[in-house]
Structure 1
């Protein structure tokens, strides 16, 4: 029988807690669930009111993976959901992880957590802008840091404050709190930034996805601002060879990065970082931090 645990009054069946999910480190499913409880405060804050998509990898990163936006079968009735419009297939229902029991339930499924740049009450109205900096080998996160520094200053010139986190994979995510703006307009502005970055740093940056253009350069993916797209949320575990996390980082850390390992964080690095820095992405959650996108043609 699966152990039953009670979390804030909700009964949960937790399965296969001794199962090794990350063979390279011997990390078990139970350790992943425990990580989510330890990180629940900032993780829940960044998940709040965001319709979630799950990348499930129940047999580890080398096993079957499947991406789902729909509410998983067997979800407890108390897990909140919301209706999300889709232009082609009509509305669907997606999970909202609003409390600790829902977070533990999701962790038990072994998932990466992905969310759009808008909240459930305002589909397609972005309250943040995201730039996904993805290095093409042999480039690494070190080159991403150089591109990020240019983008930091460029965004500052438009009166915008940018925050950073590792993707938990190979690159960086840059996040900007903005006053609610249509996803179309946000995407257009993000594309303009990517085009400008390539013009300013032609040996470092590309803004087109074509694989032939990307070796040794940083692809600035602006497309995740589209209403239908999602990005891995802060503090989520990733389905990589080791239990890496999408971890907030400081601009000093970005400036000092000379080796990829300096900005690679495993799940057990996060509690000490929170103790030292707090939640570096807390300004994303404060409406007072949001600034308007610059006016003018996109």
Structure 2
């Protein structure tokens, strides 16, 4: 008998997926094993595939479990089955890579066997790999704040989206944050979509300045919840709906209704509980495909802020090349010095 159990096989929609070391403990605090992770992903494969299907997807792998070192796999791993498809992504540097592009449930189970906890899909789908079809708003509370603070700010995000003619779908991040997703027409590039999130974030900050901020530099946030506009930049992703997160409790990023979000405890949604939750409540994100929206109003707001208030672009992440119109990437306190 192998140290972590003999390999086992699962039949997933006609594919055979081999799982090695199924008894290896991935979450020691709760005794959750690799087998349970794979079985979780088989249970949620259908709604997860709706969220990441046909999207280039980065795999966040924890080959030694949650207590080990994680890494992001941005290329199809060697030895992948022939039925694991790919999509060629272009990084901000101009380099390219063939990234996993899930097209069937077996791909999800195969990735779980590699120690994948989080699936991080790009906001694009084949063949429009440079035109996002999903607007993602990452509501990120600081260390001294909590989930309730993120929910309060997400409520204002919902109101601002509605004023721009958009409908947002919330989910827990799997931690203290909230993600709000909007299906959009793939007519704009990454720069436009990022500008749209900046415009939205500025409006949220205007409405609740004591609770929310879009300030890139932490020294300027003053303990407020951050609308992370740079998650809309090229090669920036958030964990998909139904993704397991690298937390001791094996929490899951779970789609909820707005009413459910206001009453939720994110720790209640984990590998062991979410399959039953899904069976009883369904996938609230299934409705995101019912209506596709445009960014015209948000981009008009961005142009207005630039024209009337002198508010142009904002700093990109440090690994991006210098972008046109971007201000200096200098921490304000150092700039003053």
Cα contact 2:176–2:266 (8 A) shared by 1: no
Question: Which of the residues 115, 137, 158 maps onto 1:152?
Answer: 158
Query: Kindly tell me: are residues 5 and 40 of structure 1, through their superposed partners in 2, closer, same or farther at Cα, counting changes over 3 Å?
Result: closer
CA distance in 1, matches of 2:62, 2:238: 17
Preserved CA contact (<8 Å) 1:137 1:217? no
Counterpart for residue 243 of structure 2: 236
User: Which structure has more strand as a fraction of its residues?
Assistant: 1
In 1, Cα distance between equivalents of 2:221 and 2:20 = 42
SS in 2 for 1:83: strand
Structure 1 pair 29/279, CA: closer, same or farther in 2 (3 Å)? Answer: same
- 1:197 deviates by 1.5
Partner of 1:274: 278
Question: Which runs of 5 or more structure 1 residues have no equivalent in the other structure?
Answer: none
Task: State the alpha-carbon separation in 1 of the partners of residues 9 and 301 from structure 2.
Answer: 57
1:225 aligns with 2:227: no
Match of 1:15 in 2: 20
Q: Which has the higher contact order (CA 8 A, sep 6+)?
A: 1
- The match for 1:128 is 134
**Pairing of 1:1-298 with structure 2 (within 5 A):** 2-111=7-116, 112-180=118-186, 181-214=188-221, 216-256=223-263, 261=265, 264-284=268-288, 286=289, 288-295=290-297, 296=300, 298=302
User: What's the TM-score once normalised by structure 1's chain length?
Assistant: 0.92
Aligned residues between the structures: 293
Bigger Rg over Cα: 2
Aligned partners of 2:140 and 2:100: how far apart in 1? 28
User: What are the Cα deviations for residues 16-39 of structure 1, in whole angstroms up to 9, with x where unaligned?
Assistant: 110110011110000000001111
Residue deviations 1:93-143 (CA, integer Å, cap 9, x gap):
011121122111011112110011111211121111111111112210101
Name stretches of at least 5 consecutive residues in structure 2 with no aligned partner: 1-5, 303-337
* 1:60-93 CA distance string (max 9 Å, x none): 2221111121111221122111222234243210
TM-score (norm 2): 0.82
| Residue deviations 1:183-219 (CA, integer Å, cap 9, x gap) | 2111101111112222221211121232334463211
Give the deviation of 1:175 after TM superposition. Answer: 0.6
Please say if residues 177 and 283 of structure 1, whose CA atoms lie closer than 8 Å, have aligned partners that are also in contact: no
